[in-house]
């Protein structure tokens, strides 16, 4: 393992993020505050509690997941796309660095950024509503696991995209709608039976409910299934990244 190579990529990516630190942090903090103001005023006054939890506290895990999925995907996709766009990816591929070390550097940096932002969102939310974390270790585990999984997913998108506009296609047109429809702001038990069944085909439901369980010990799905779905998606992403480097798909061509 070339630790210096991994550290060089990781440090470079974190330094690039650090140059826009205020913008990177201010945007999610403001977004979270607006969610609480808008949803707290418009919906919280009508839905006081869900599963014995105040509505404001109930949506906190969903808001963190919403940010985590989009930020992990965006950070990792841009991180690998820019070297492809600038042509510096060939210098990286010709260096004595293995594909594993490249992935560790880029994905590790993207996941780190997302976890930091997730903790900042959690701290911001605690200013608006009282938050109880029943299982802090599981909470951090779900946070890190989701950040790594979707950073790998973003890495795949960054390799697949052949233009800047394509970097936002899947996050905006697929991930964000699935997150909003995945129980971010409501319990799927509130839906009619038919739509409850349909919603169970949305993989984001399992991520949000697994994360919410670590806070309040309430979930619309089985926790083991939620963890299994997350690990399964992680395995699929790892397999896809392995195939990309094995075939050189859009990296060596």
Residue keyed to tokens 């510096």: 88
pLDDT of residue 44: 65
CA angle 40, 44, 47 (to 5 degrees): 165
Strands (E), the chain: 49-50, 53-54
- For residue 64, what are the CA distances in angstroms to 35, 114, 170? 11, 10, 19
Burial degree of 179 (CB within 10 A; 0-12, 13-18, 19+): buried
Mean pLDDT of each 10-residue bin along the chain, 253 residues long: 90 86 77 76 73 88 91 92 86 87 95 93 87 94 95 95 84 87 89 91 93 95 93 95 90 71
pLDDT of residue 34: 82
- For residue 130, what are the CA distances in angstroms to 56, 125, 127? 9, 8, 8
pLDDT of residue 88: 84
Cα gap 154→93, rounded to integer Å: 19
Cα gap 106→110, rounded to integer Å: 6
pLDDT of residue 65: 92
């Amino acid at each position: 393992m070339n630790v210096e190579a991994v550290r060089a990529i990781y440090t470079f990516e974190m330094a690039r993020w650090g140059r826009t630190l205020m913008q990177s942090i201010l945007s999610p903090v403001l977004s979270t505050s607006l969610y609480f103001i808008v949803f707290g005023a418009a919906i919280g006054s009508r839905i006081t509690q869900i599963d014995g939890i105040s509505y404001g506290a109930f949506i906190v895990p969903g808001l963190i997941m919403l940010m985590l999925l989009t930020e992990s995907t965006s950070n990792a996709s841009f991180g690998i796309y820019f070297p492809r766009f600038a042509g510096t990816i060939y210098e990286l591929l010709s260096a004595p660095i293995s594909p594993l070390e490249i992935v560790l550097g880029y994905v590790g940096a993207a996941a780190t950024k997302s976890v930091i932002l997730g903790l900042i969102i959690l701290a911001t939310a605690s200013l608006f509503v009282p938050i109880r974390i029943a299982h802090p270790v599981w909470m951090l585990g779900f946070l890190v696991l989701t950040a790594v999984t979707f950073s790998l997913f973003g890495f795949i998108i960054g390799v697949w995209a052949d233009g800047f506009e394509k970097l936002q296609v899947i996050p905006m047109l697929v991930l964000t709608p699935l997150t909003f429809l995945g129980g971010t702001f409501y319990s799927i038990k509130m839906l009619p039976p038919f739509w409850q069944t349909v919603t169970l085909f949305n993989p984001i439901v399992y991520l949000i409910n697994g994360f919410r369980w670590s806070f309040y010990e309430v979930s619309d799905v089985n926790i083991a299934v939620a963890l299994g779905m997350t690990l399964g998606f992680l395995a699929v992403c790892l397999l896809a990244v392995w195939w990309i480097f094995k075939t050189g798909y859009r990296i060596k061509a």
